[in-house]
Amino acid sequence: MKVRYLGHSCVEIIGRHHILIDPDFTREPELGVEFICITHAHDDHIGRVAELPTGFVVAAPDVCEIAAEMGVARERLRPLSAGESIANIHALPGFSRVGGFVYNFFYLLFTHRLPKPGGTSLSFLVEDEATLLHIGDAHNAVLYVRPDILCLPWRKTPLWAERYQKALIKMTHRLAPSYVLPIHHVGRRYGRLGLETIQPASK
């Protein structure tokens, strides 16, 4: 099983199946992607999905519709709801913030525009030689699993950054992964987690 961090929230898994999660990559994935999982439909998670020539898109039904509007052929869509599975991929409830008054207010405050629709969010648990959990943007994923690898959105927020990071640390210790793969970061430090981290691949 091979795991690569490809930028933003994008993680590539090559094992029983070739899986790409959140395809807004800054490093190119290897050829032959079989499944493309999308936690939610914000640009930094779905942005390059139409560029991938292979792979079934695995996402919530409304996120699959957004992928179709972006140019993905409908025969490649595999809508899932929380609790459903395809191959070795299990869809779990999602906790990424995709809307609501508070989210929309602060997004407008800092970007001077309203966010695009995020659709229904999901988390994904991939079972292979090791289990990998990807929670998208969530800082408090109420999930009752113990993954070997947790993809953790370790980033700085414009407001209440320390409180946000404390919530991430608390969640990480509750999920108790063996390894943490930091995602959605730019040059952060991870030692405070007290867990071994997997460093992003240069390729």
Residue 86 in 3-state DSSP? strand
Residue 202 pLDDT > 60: no
Domain ranges of the chain: 2-197
Name the CATH superfamily housing domain 2-197.
Ribonuclease Z/Hydroxyacylglutathione hydrolase-like (3.60.15.10)
- Judged by average pLDDT, the poorest of 34-38, 106-110, 147-151, 157-161 is 106-110
Over residues 39-55, the mean pLDDT reads 95
Predicted confidence at residue 113, as pLDDT, reads 60
Predicted confidence at residue 201, as pLDDT, reads 47
Can you give the length of the chain in residues?
Answer: 203
